[in-house]
């Protein structure tokens, strides 16, 4: 692996800014990499015409620089809108619908000079951590094309790992930026709620579970893209102020404290090898002067799960209910989408109130924990990447899973209360497959979590140390 595509996004940007290469040259190399690798990977979908993209790149070469993304090719997750491109969300109900404007974070990336070349693949409506859908097909893992890449930002993670993109956007409800990053040896960040808002349209108060965010091959690139995506927008509640993360990314981390929550006191089952690999990674943090302490479960597992189950179904019933009510569309929705909607519509007011109370109590308990520790650490998945013909795991280490997403339960401590969380590569198992480690910070502490991730990256550089075969 060599050449401009082997470099991180900020290094590519410096090469463009300094005239070492041009945007047209970078675009041509990117399209050649996509032609070479995307066929079996199926990570990038709705790819735009090559000549049109090369013309945009030439125009970028001739224009003043707009920002650090100027001239860099990007592809947008197919749950978000990019003007002029279809937003199918992986659903045959929406296939072919062309976006009339950009999602807010996409408009900000474009304003910083990014050239949108297409979309990245996602599960239907982003439901399930396995990237397949009836519109664009299946995306395989960058390290084993016969296994899942995770999801729902699976296409983004694979495109990054295969050096088809320098940096990518994604979204995260139940680990959708963290799980595929962990399974493809890259970095994915779920920002604090309010850090990366969207346009203030429709209901903006009740359903705060998902957020957009960045994915990259280094924490420096994560920080740079987050700084582009982040910032308040008029009319949207709960927005956090715009604070740059990149300038202090290399801050010293010695003396910081990690609370290792492991398997939540035995409550979360894991396939063999995952916890051992993550504990080996944590020992590397100790070498950086970071204190790692195992902790008892900080909250009741069953209460957390019931709160998440109800609030997630409540949110999905709201966003997908109109499709469910259309007799022409309902038969075309996948089973897990139907289940989410029906679960949400069957909730009582008392159940929603109880779920919100549990969430409030967990936030208070987590906030107390962050008075003594800088981050909570957990693995990014409870299983290794599984075969593509398996929709989702039905059991983990002999424990039956009672829903299609229970095997991702390790993600909900951060998701339920909107905490910033970064998936950092933890290394590889005996099976040759990658795994990640979540670093979860206090709400608003995005920059501090990025600093820990950057220190880890400087010490390990897993994405460049062990890139996917054939890259």
DSSP state letters, 313-364: HHHHHHHHHHHHH-TTTGGGS-HHHHHHHHHHHT--HHHHHHHHHHHHHHHH
Is 409 a residue whose pLDDT tops 80? yes
Active-site option among 46, 88, 152, 210: 152
Active-site option among 91, 129, 153, 176: 176
Q: How far apart are CA 228 and CA 214, in angstroms?
A: 10
CB 193 within 8 A of CB 443: yes
Task: Determine the angle formed by the axes of helices 9-17 and 23-41, rounding to 10 degrees.
Answer: 150
**70: closest CA among 19, 6, 1?**
19
Neighbours of 366 (CB within 10 A): 20
Where residue 250 falls (left for φ over 0; alpha for ψ -120 to 50; beta otherwise) is alpha
The domain ranges of the chain are: 4-465
Which tens digits make up the pLDDT trace of 349-377? 999 999 999 999 999 999 999 999 999 99
**390: closest CA among 181, 184, 140, 152?**
140
Tell me what the mean pLDDT of segment 421-445 comes to. 98
**Can you tell me which residue has the tokens 């501090």?**
448
**Can you tell me which residue has the tokens 């900080």?**
298
Reply yes or no on whether 66 is catalytic.
Answer: no
Q: Print burial letters for 413-448: b (CB count within 10 Å at least 16), e (below 16).
A: bbbbbbbbbbbbbbbbbeeebbbbbbbbbbbbbbbb
Q: How far apart are CA 305 and CA 126, in angstroms?
A: 20
Dig out the tokens for 436 from the structure.
């990640």
Dig out the tokens for 131 from the structure.
């990237």
pLDDT (0 to 100) of residue 186: 99
Q: Which residues are CB-neighbours of 19 under 8 A, at least 6 positions away?
A: none
Question: What residues form DSSP beta bridges with 387?
Answer: 147
pLDDT (0 to 100) of residue 14: 98
When the candidates are 3.40.50.720, 3.30.750.200, 3.90.1300.10, 3.30.930.10, the CATH number that belongs to 4-465 is: 3.90.1300.10
Q: What is the largest CA-CA distance in the chain?
A: 62
Query: Residue 189 gets which letter from DSSP?
Result: E
pLDDT (0 to 100) of residue 270: 98
Q: How far apart are CA 468 and CA 11, in angstroms?
A: 20
Tell me what the mean pLDDT of segment 327-346 comes to. 97
Q: How far apart are CA 450 and CA 230, in angstroms?
A: 14
| Rounded (to 5) percent helix, strand, coil in the chain | 40, 15, 45
Question: What residues form DSSP beta bridges with 74?
Answer: 116
**76: closest CA among 176, 196, 169?**
169
pLDDT band at 397 (very low <50, low <70, confident <90, very high): very high
Task: List alpha helices for 189-334, DSSP H.
Answer: 219-229, 274-287, 301-325
Q: How far apart are CA 438 and CA 390, in angstroms?
A: 25
Reply yes or no on whether 415 is catalytic.
Answer: no
pLDDT (0 to 100) of residue 2: 67
Angle at 434 between CA 430 and CA 436, to 5 degrees: 120
Task: Note the pTM of the prediction, 2 decimals.
Answer: 0.98
Helix (H) or strand (E) holding 152: none
Is 1 a residue whose pLDDT tops 60? no
Active-site option among 77, 89, 110, 119: 77
Reply yes or no on whether 91 is catalytic.
Answer: no
CB 285 within 8 A of CB 279: no
What is the overall mean pLDDT for the chain? 97
Which tens digits make up the pLDDT trace of 264-279? 999 999 999 999 999 9
Is 334 a residue whose pLDDT tops 90? yes
pLDDT band at 197 (very low <50, low <70, confident <90, very high): very high
Neighbours of 345 (CB within 10 A): 13
Q: How far apart are CA 429 and CA 434, in angstroms?
A: 6
């Amino acid at each position: 692996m060599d050449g401009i595509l082997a470099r991180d996004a900020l290094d590519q940007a410096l090469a463009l800014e300094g005239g070492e290469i041009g945007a047209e040259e970078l675009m041509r190399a990117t399209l050649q990499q996509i032609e070479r690798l995307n066929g079996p990977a199926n990570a990038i979908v709705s790819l735009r015409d090559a000549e049109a993209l090369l013309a945009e790149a030439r125009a970028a070469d001739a224009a003043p620089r707009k920002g650090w993304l100027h001239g860099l090719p990007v592809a947008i997750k197919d749950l978000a809108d990019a003007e002029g491109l279809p937003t199918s969300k992986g659903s045959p109900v929406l296939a072919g619908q062309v976006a009339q404007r950009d999602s807010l974070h996409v408009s900000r990336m474009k304003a910083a000079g990014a050239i949108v070349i297409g979309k990245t693949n996602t599960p239907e409506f982003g439901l399930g951590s396995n990237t397949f859908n009836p519109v664009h097909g299946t995306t395989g893992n960058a390290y084993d094309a016969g296994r899942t890449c995770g999801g729902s930002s699976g296409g983004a993670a694979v495109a990054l790992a295969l050096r088809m993109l320098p940096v990518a956007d994604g979204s995260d409800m139940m680990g959708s930026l963290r799980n595929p990053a962990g399974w493809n040896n890259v970095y994915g960040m779920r920002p604090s709620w309010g850090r990366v808002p969207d346009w203030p349209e429709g209901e903006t108060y009740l359903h705060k579970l998902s957020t957009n965010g960045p994915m990259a091959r280094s924490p420096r690139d994560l920080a740079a893209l987050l700084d582009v995506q982040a910032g308040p927008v008029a009319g949207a509640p709960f927005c956090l102020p715009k604070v740059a993360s990149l300038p202090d990314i290399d801050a010293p981390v010695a003396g910081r404290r990690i609370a290792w929550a492991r398997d939540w006191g035995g409550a979360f089952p894991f396939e063999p090898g995952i916890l051992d690999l993550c504990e080996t990674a944590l020992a590397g943090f100790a070498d950086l002067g970071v204190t790692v302490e195992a902790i008892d479960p900080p909250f009741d597992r069953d209460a957390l799960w019931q709160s998440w189950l109800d609030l997630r179904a409540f949110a999905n019933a709201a966003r997908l209910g109109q499709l469910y009510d259309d007799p022409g569309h309902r038969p075309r929705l996948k089973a897990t989408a139907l289940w989410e909607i029906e679960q949400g519509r069957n909730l009582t007011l008392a159940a929603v109130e109880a779920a919100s109370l549990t969430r409030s109590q967990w936030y208070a308990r987590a906030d107390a924990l962050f008075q003594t520790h800088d981050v909570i650490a957990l693995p990014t998945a409870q299983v290794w990447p599984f075969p593509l013909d398996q929709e989702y795991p039905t059991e983990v280490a002999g424990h039956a899973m009672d829903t299609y997403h229970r095997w991702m339960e390790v993600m909900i401590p951060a998701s339920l209360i909107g905490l910033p969380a970064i998936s950092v590569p933890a290394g590889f198992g005996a099976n040759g497959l990658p795994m990640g480690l979540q670093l979860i910070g206090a709400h608003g502490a995005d920059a501090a979590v990025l600093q820990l991730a950057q220190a880890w990256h400087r010490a390990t550089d897993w994405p460049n140390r062990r890139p996917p075969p054939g890259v």
